[in-house]
Structure 1
Amino acid sequence: MPNIAPTVIDKTQYQTGRQTLLNQFVQHKHPTRAVRPLIRDLTALTDCCVQSAWGACFNHQSEDIRQAAALIAVGGYGRAELLPNSDIDLLILIKTDALSSEQRQQLSNAIEQWVSLLWDMGLTLSHSVRTIDEGIADALEDLSIQTSILEARYLAGDTKIHHTFYAAFKRHFDLPVFWREKIAEMRQRHAKFDDTPYSLEPNCKESPGGLRDIHLMMWLAKAAGIGQCWQDLHHNNWLTASQLRLLVRSENQLLAIRAHLHILSKRMENRVLFDLQTPLAHAFGLYETVGKRAGERLMQRYYLAARAIYQQFTLFIQKFELFLAPPSAQHIAHKIKGFPDFVEVDHVLDVVRNDAFIRKPHLLIDVFYVYGQVTGLTGFSPKLWDAILQARNLITPEFRRKPEHRAKFIRLLKMKNGITHAIRLMHQTGVLGRYIPPFRRIIGQMQHDLFHIYTVDQHILTVVRNLRRFTLQEHLHSHPLANQVMAEFNQPWLLYIAGLFHDIAKGRGGDHSDLGAIEVARFAKQHALTKKQTALVVLLVKEHLTMSNFAQKEDLSDVETIRRFAAKIKTIEHLQALYLLTVADIRGTSPKVWNAWKDKLLADLYQLTLRELSGQTQAPTNMLRERQEQALELLPSTLTTQAQNLWHRFDTEYFMHHDAETIAWHAEHIIPELTGTQTTIVASQPFNGAHSLHVMIYTADVPDLFARLCSFFQQRQLSIFDAQIYTSGYGTALDTFQVLLPDTHIADTQYVTQLNLDLKELLIKAPTLRVPNLGRLTARSRNFPIVPRVNLVATDKGEYVLKLAATDRHGVLYSIAYILKQMNIRLRSARIVTLGERLEDVFVLTSDELSNPSVAAQLEAELIRVCTIS
């Protein structure tokens, strides 16, 4: 039995010692160097407390009682990886078959006294008491218990009990079963985080590329007897020297981040939340630079570390799967025609010789071409991964200057199949960033425009994937017009180049579109693109936001708007390419940003500009007639005459802003209830799933109508993400809103019916408007605020166009509407657009007072006030 000092460390000693260690860590200039000493010393301090308390409670007991229990550290504490606010996981093994009932009670009392001592000291315990048989039985039923036992570390008590238990555990342990269950668990965990390390608020423990992946590698290594630490894996040829260094450095980076998260939040916090990213960056000595926030610099380090871990983890899992394969398993290598350096083995691509890339560097491009060309491949072999990772530094400026290498890269982009997978593998292996140096600068680069949910590099890869999908029949149902346009565009590889470069200059400061255009022009010249091809990719990168801005912010019913856009684009080929890139770009920001309304706006702008460039500009009256005819086809023939009578009340603007399906839907609900000019009609239908609604209101126009509608939606916790506000010349308003429901509600029949009744009642009774109040900002909005922009311009029609861009928050739209009502400014029409957490709205206003500069200035000041984050 070990000699344990009977003196117990008291609470003050423990807390003082712990705080001293935390202070030393916080004050250290290099957290990644200081985190291992912190973990080691925190573990040692805790060991001292736990062991001294055990000695105080057990040393005076009889020998029978002392030999009846063993104290084992498990989990993170067992692997001696104790962070500032980690749980202290302990297993107490007891052997009571030789004890009398009185001795058993004494043992129980000693354990209770020990637990009380530790709680009094302020330790957060997670402990269990088990016999050897109970411990083994629990382990066989619970995967987490098996895992924690693999990390078990003896602390105090009888060593025989510990050895007996561990020997029994090893006899019952089934490595293949453990492997299958842990991999299934890992897949569920990764799926919870969208299978990407690049979440903007990642969990540094559980996300892909997080510390849990590191743990899983070591659990499997220990279970299989491969090694107890990274050095063992290196000595046993599971890790090269460079991989070992990279893995240790990346692990220390994440451990240091996790330690600071615990300290900053004063709890066991593993999420790198927006609110914590800036103070976390400061703890690492990172501060704001030109074009880059401190938090962005910190997160770029995080993503690089997570990417390295995820890469090594994937490679380790592949190797381990081969390690477990039965000796009799056949692994037949199939030659690949035209590429003798590569073979296919069990549906993965392999390399014949480990030094293939060293001898023939051009294979660093060819390997991705082969992967895209050979059907049925599911990935790279571990051997091939290792070979690429060891040779990728051969992609030097000299390598990039060689014409044959440039030709191979262009050939890669021209592949008919496998482009998306090939480009993603190039990124994962680090080859893409080395071949296109500007791309390497945006790896892990955050975006703070409140609607991108991916880092810049992941967004770019998603855009390239979307462009590729426009060429595939299986995705025709998702974007029919884009697929049709792509079929007419005969050089899709130029779009992939534009996709790779469109955001490549983000994070530098300045206009990323202009800087990106310079980069893609340089690339085009180096890769011998023709003048026409170069002009196209430069225009696409420089103007990649233009079509979206025109579609969402300009009046598409105005012929001059279409002519201005056509003058920028110049040719039909440019229009086709820009439309495809724009759709792919918006769809690649966030699933919440793209919807049928934006699809329609872009499609309308495309069709109108196509006619303009073809010399077939359609007069507004012809377009109006075309929309009406399409809508009539969707309505019952019995409503034809009534629909035409209804449409006489609406002008071209209404038909330009709604597609045929929406026009028909409006008419179908308005006509049966149309009994007079004062009729109030409300209809709703699910839109884009069960958590969003398309709401239509047809009623007499009154000055505060828009404010009442916004107030109603705010009170019901409905978030407006798109709206069309239209007022006819007959004094009626036809407003259409697209709203998101709270997570606790779904758009079932009962909910929709009651919502319609309540909204109709509100409009009829017209209660006094309440004073608006703004909701709380999200963490993302607080940390990435938008400086509000207000632009008020008079038109030649005696109206005023108000353009507003600001951070969206609950109640802000009602606050805007309330200001307009208070200043007696009438709203004739509006286009409400919410992009993630950013609003970009356009209002058409009428007021005799706005011609007074002081009134216009007052309106702008009031709008700035409510849209400014404080």
Structure 2
Amino acid sequence: MPTAAPSHALDRTRYQAGRSMLFSQFTANNSPTRAVRRLMRELTHLTDLCVLEAWAHCIGTLPDNLRHSSSLIAIGGYGRAELLPNSDIDLLVLIKTDHLPAESKAQLSLAIEQWVSMLWDMGVTLSHSVRTIDECIADALEDLSIQTSILEGRYLAGDKKIHQTFYAAFNRHFDLLTFWREKMAEMRQRHSKFDDTPYSLEPNCKESPGGLRDLHLMLWLAKAANIGQTWQELHHNNWLTASQLRLIQRSENQLLAIRAHLHILSKRMENRVLFDLQTPLAHAFGLFETDGKRAGEHLMQRYYLAARAIYQQCALFVQKFELFLSPPSAPHIAHKIKGFPDFVEVDHVLDVVRNDAFIRKPHLLIDVFYVYGQVTGLTGFSPKLWDAILQARNLITPEFRRTPENRSKFIRLLKLDNGITHAIRLMNQTGVLGRYIPAFRRIIGQMQHDLFHIYTVDQHILTVVRNLRRFTLQEHMQSHFLANQVMAEFGQPWLLYIAGLFHDIAKGRGGDHSDLGAIEVARFAKQHALTKKQTTLVVFLVKHHLTMSTFAQKEDLSDMETIQRFASTVKSVENLQALYLLTVADIRGTSPKVWNAWKDKLLADLYQLTLRELSGQTQAPVSMLKERTMDALELLPNAEIQAQAQALWNDFDTEYFMRHDATTIAWHAEHIVQRPKHTGKTSAVVATKPFNNDHSLHVMVYTADVPDLFARLCSFFQQRYLSIFDAQIYTSGQGIALDTFQVLLPESHQADALFVQRLNQELRETLTTAPALRAPNLGRLTARSRNFPIVPRVSLTPTDKGEYVLKLAATDRHGVLYSIAYILKQMNIRLRSARIVTLGERLEDVFILSSDQLNDPSAAAQLEAELMRVCTIS
């Protein structure tokens, strides 16, 4: 039996002290991407010492027949010597006990238990298994993860013959094709979990697309096929070029260093780059805030560049590996491409005839994307073509960019009838786009922490270009009818693609990115021989790409002065058409949650009203009102309800009809006129219908206006954890409130019939009984809001109608809207109308207030101070 531990053995104190020293050395290093390799190497060595000393103490003291009945193997990350501060230690104990009597088996089993216990006592986070060779082979055949971890096995101690016998048996049973298929399915599932993008806001640096697991996959496949154990061997065996080798090693070190610091900062095995950790993580890398960029944004740009490189290299390797596995008899017939003798199509993939084609003819670095967009049926680039582009892309120099032929080819590319989106995306993936447009290269991988963009700047720009392209396609007509119609009238989509490429290109520099972007696009237009008219248009679009959205969401579109001011900015129908298209594409490209029918309607109304103003039709609101009411009447079920609706509408002014589309107007009218006969004319009417999906609702309230109505409604929704992301608050001249809310349900709720019925009943009871208002209680901020807060802005402006316009922008959180409503109620300020807009986690609200006391500067100052208090993140 084992004896007491010798005095020289590693105990818990020494082991933990050794780890702490290694962590301190690593965190003190000014270059963590270089230091991380040493950290992993020394952590592995320290762990080996611990594991082997415990093994020698517990197993090494057994009789020879027992010592030679087991073998110790490091597997998984420990097996490949990739230990980070809080990584698990994966160990496999192989035993051969069929020749041992029961008493000896029990003695060996007890010794292994004591070995495990000793390691836990030392503080080693252990994951282990004890199996016979046959058991391990059987388990590996059933479990892909076991099979994978065994591939990375590293002999540590015990009988080497058992180790060798096991791996010989494992290799005999190993089926490369099955392993390949299962690993591809696992990769697709893993990528899908993270939305198939390396650009998550809080990526998992191990599991996300472009994470370390993609690199592991490449090495697993290489080891399984015996084509290389390391990156250097893969390079030596012509699977990686020298530049690919350097790129992979640099990107891997970057992610390993990030992961190591995540473990140290969080004091656990944390692989997610969480918002709360991004700033301290950036500081650990020596990154700090600069003009226009937070420290965390600098870090995340580095992360995204590394993740993008890994994602691409993994895709290339997988593609190359698939060709490696394809049967020799598989047909690979090359088809010539007319007009482009340097390229061929092979199995629906674009390939290059000669490896040095781009070096001999650098202009082909533009042509290749034109060919890809022009030839139908292509699904991608061949590995050979990828390698050739990556090898030659550094030939895109200032001289290359100054060559008139290359400039002409780039404009020709933008004028493609088909495939422009895929071509531009491939240009970005290969790094050609950033080299051809240097300003674009600066925003690759740059995150936008403005609480409603969910993409990096480059991905957002490419999504905007994709959206603009969709406006030209018949199959997308149903999704955005007006945009498709306007694009057909505009007729020059390539100019919009240029504006799309440049509209956010100056993000992160400090200063106004619209003005800086306008300078960049003007330079590009001059270099690429655009006409004066074309140049003026693209400069206007980049400079004013936020203007239409601002007018539509923050100004009163029922006021003709608003329309006239916007028209004076736009100046021409062509500018209006182009700005409308870019604005819709831009908003739709920020996040799926930001675009909705309400914003669609606002922009469409502003477009139509401005178009009529520019055309000299000064009576536009009256004409539009008549058109909208006629459309609403046609949606009502019968003549009786139509007549009642027209009587109802006599109480409403132009503002109501300008704010709502025909469908919403008809929905309001049908429920109001069909209320029970025994109720009064102004009795509360509540109606609800699903909005977009089962987790959001459209709620309409029609009732007599009272001073605390808005506060009561906000309180009602807050208490039920229903988040208001859009609202229209309207009060008629007769003192009737007709308010429409779009609310988001908690994830655990669904807008089924029973839920809607109960919600309507409770809301009617609230309006009838008028319960006392509770004191506001602000909810907790999300991690994103805490780390990227919005500086609140409050402005209070008098109108010539004796009212006040209150504009407010701040970080949204649960209860903030009710807090605002509560302040208005406490100060006896009446709300006549409001427009509530939530963009991601940012609220931008406009309130029309009626209160004589606001004429007193001190009261106005008090209101602004109270609003700033509830909107300021502390």
Paired position in structure 2 for 1:746: 750
Out of 814, 818, 837, the residue aligned to residue 814 of structure 1 is: 818
Paired position in structure 2 for 1:147: 148
Which is worse superposed, 361-370 or 484-493? 484-493
Shift of 1:300: 1.0
Q: Is residue 692 from structure 1 mapped to residue 696 from structure 2 by the alignment?
A: yes
Provide the rounded CA distance (Å) in 2 between the counterparts of 1:686 and 1:158: 68
Paired position in structure 1 for 2:660: 658
Paired position in structure 2 for 1:422: 423
Provide the rounded CA distance (Å) in 1 between the counterparts of 2:73 and 2:649: 80
Paired position in structure 2 for 1:583: 584
- For 1:163, the aligned partner's letter is Q
- For 1:640, the aligned partner's letter is Q
Provide the rounded CA distance (Å) in 2 between the counterparts of 1:13 and 1:680: 74
Structure 2 runs not aligned, ≥5 long: none
Aligned residue runs from structure 1 range 842-861, under 5 A? 842-861=846-865
2:609–2:620 contact (8 Å) kept in structure 1? no
Provide the rounded CA distance (Å) in 2 between the counterparts of 1:531 and 1:436: 21
Provide the rounded CA distance (Å) in 2 between the counterparts of 1:164 and 1:8: 31
Q: Is residue 543 from structure 1 mapped to residue 544 from structure 2 by the alignment?
A: yes
Shift of 1:673: 1.1
Paired position in structure 2 for 1:321: 322
Out of 823, 837, 843, the residue aligned to residue 839 of structure 1 is: 843
Shift of 1:618: 3.1
Shift of 1:132: 1.0
Aligned residue runs from structure 1 range 32-111, under 5 A? 32-111=33-112
Instruction: For residue 775 of structure 2, give the secondary structure of its aligned residue in structure 1.
Output: coil
Instruction: For residue 691 of structure 1, give the secondary structure of its aligned residue in structure 2.
Output: strand
Aligned residue runs from structure 1 range 317-396, under 5 A? 317-396=318-397
Shift of 1:617: 3.2
Provide the rounded CA distance (Å) in 2 between the counterparts of 1:60 and 1:338: 78
2:609–2:621 contact (8 Å) kept in structure 1? no
1:453–1:590 contact (8 Å) kept in structure 2? yes
Paired position in structure 2 for 1:727: 731
Aligned residue runs from structure 1 range 190-209, under 5 A? 190-209=191-210
1:677–1:732 contact (8 Å) kept in structure 2? no
Which is worse superposed, 331-340 or 158-167? 158-167
Provide the rounded CA distance (Å) in 2 between the counterparts of 1:182 and 1:474: 36
Which is worse superposed, 467-476 or 826-835? 467-476
Paired position in structure 2 for 1:649: 651
Provide the rounded CA distance (Å) in 2 between the counterparts of 1:65 and 1:750: 69
Out of 772, 778, 784, the residue aligned to residue 780 of structure 1 is: 784
- For 2:666, the aligned partner's letter is A
Paired position in structure 1 for 2:163: 162
Paired position in structure 1 for 2:631: 630
- For 2:747, the aligned partner's letter is D
Deviation readout 1:605-637 (Å, 9 max, x if unpaired): 111111111122334333222211111100012
Provide the rounded CA distance (Å) in 1 between the counterparts of 2:784 and 2:592: 17
Q: Is residue 763 from structure 1 mapped to residue 764 from structure 2 by the alignment?
A: no
Paired position in structure 1 for 2:247: 246
Instruction: For residue 205 of structure 2, give the secondary structure of its aligned residue in structure 1.
Output: coil
Shift of 1:689: 0.5
Instruction: For residue 674 of structure 2, give the secondary structure of its aligned residue in structure 1.
Output: helix
Provide closer, same or farther for how the CA distance between residues 151 and 182 of structure 1 changes in structure 2, counting only shifts above 3 A: same
Paired position in structure 2 for 1:288: 289
Paired position in structure 2 for 1:28: 29
Deviation readout 1:254-292 (Å, 9 max, x if unpaired): 000000000000111111111111100100111111111
Deviation readout 1:195-247 (Å, 9 max, x if unpaired): 11111211111111110000000000000001110110111011111211111
Deviation readout 1:136-160 (Å, 9 max, x if unpaired): 1111111111110100111122212
Deviation readout 1:710-766 (Å, 9 max, x if unpaired): 111111111111000011111111100001100001111111111111111111111
1:5–1:55 contact (8 Å) kept in structure 2? no
Shift of 1:128: 1.3
Provide the rounded CA distance (Å) in 1 between the counterparts of 2:209 and 2:237: 26
Provide the rounded CA distance (Å) in 1 between the counterparts of 2:664 and 2:823: 30
Aligned residue runs from structure 1 range 599-638, under 5 A? 599-637=600-638, 638=640
2:805–2:846 contact (8 Å) kept in structure 1? yes
Deviation readout 1:809-836 (Å, 9 max, x if unpaired): 1110000000000000000000000011
Out of 789, 792, 795, the residue aligned to residue 791 of structure 1 is: 795
Q: Is residue 507 from structure 1 mapped to residue 511 from structure 2 by the alignment?
A: no
Which is worse superposed, 763-772 or 496-505? 763-772
1:624–1:652 contact (8 Å) kept in structure 2? yes
Provide the rounded CA distance (Å) in 2 between the counterparts of 1:319 and 1:545: 44
Instruction: For residue 357 of structure 1, give the secondary structure of its aligned residue in structure 2.
Output: helix
Identity %: 82
Provide the rounded CA distance (Å) in 2 between the counterparts of 1:562 and 1:767: 42
Instruction: For residue 24 of structure 2, give the secondary structure of its aligned residue in structure 1.
Output: helix
- For 2:658, the aligned partner's letter is M
1:6–1:56 contact (8 Å) kept in structure 2? no
Deviation readout 1:482-502 (Å, 9 max, x if unpaired): 111111111100000000000
Provide the rounded CA distance (Å) in 1 between the counterparts of 2:666 and 2:8: 84
Shift of 1:452: 0.1
Provide the rounded CA distance (Å) in 2 between the counterparts of 1:579 and 1:166: 65
1:6–1:55 contact (8 Å) kept in structure 2? no
- For 2:802, the aligned partner's letter is G
- For 1:82, the aligned partner's letter is L
Provide the rounded CA distance (Å) in 1 between the counterparts of 2:195 and 2:414: 27
Paired position in structure 2 for 1:232: 233
Aligned residue runs from structure 1 range 10-29, under 5 A? 10-29=11-30
Aligned residues: 867
Provide the rounded CA distance (Å) in 1 between the counterparts of 2:174 and 2:802: 82
Aligned residue runs from structure 1 range 467-478, under 5 A? 467-478=468-479
Shift of 1:127: 1.1
Provide the rounded CA distance (Å) in 1 between the counterparts of 2:624 and 2:502: 37
Which is worse superposed, 668-677 or 560-569? 668-677
Provide the rounded CA distance (Å) in 1 between the counterparts of 2:8 and 2:115: 13
- For 1:749, the aligned partner's letter is A
Provide the rounded CA distance (Å) in 1 between the counterparts of 2:707 and 2:322: 70
Instruction: For residue 694 of structure 2, give the secondary structure of its aligned residue in structure 1.
Output: coil
CA RMSD of aligned residues (A): 1.1
Shift of 1:7: 5.0
Instruction: For residue 273 of structure 2, give the secondary structure of its aligned residue in structure 1.
Output: coil
Provide the rounded CA distance (Å) in 1 between the counterparts of 2:764 and 2:64: 82
Shift of 1:165: 1.2
1:556–1:656 contact (8 Å) kept in structure 2? yes
Instruction: For residue 215 of structure 1, give the secondary structure of its aligned residue in structure 2.
Output: helix
1:335–1:343 contact (8 Å) kept in structure 2? yes
Provide the rounded CA distance (Å) in 2 between the counterparts of 1:524 and 1:781: 39
Structure 1 runs not aligned, ≥5 long: none
Provide the rounded CA distance (Å) in 2 between the counterparts of 1:433 and 1:508: 17
Paired position in structure 2 for 1:481: 482
Paired position in structure 1 for 2:671: 669
Provide the rounded CA distance (Å) in 2 between the counterparts of 1:468 and 1:623: 30
1:719–1:810 contact (8 Å) kept in structure 2? yes
Instruction: For residue 564 of structure 2, give the secondary structure of its aligned residue in structure 1.
Output: helix
Aligned residue runs from structure 1 range 116-131, under 5 A? 116-131=117-132
Provide the rounded CA distance (Å) in 1 between the counterparts of 2:427 and 2:621: 49
Provide the rounded CA distance (Å) in 2 between the counterparts of 1:411 and 1:490: 16
2:613–2:620 contact (8 Å) kept in structure 1? no
Instruction: For residue 690 of structure 1, give the secondary structure of its aligned residue in structure 2.
Output: strand
- For 1:231, the aligned partner's letter is Q
Shift of 1:40: 0.5
Provide the rounded CA distance (Å) in 1 between the counterparts of 2:168 and 2:669: 78
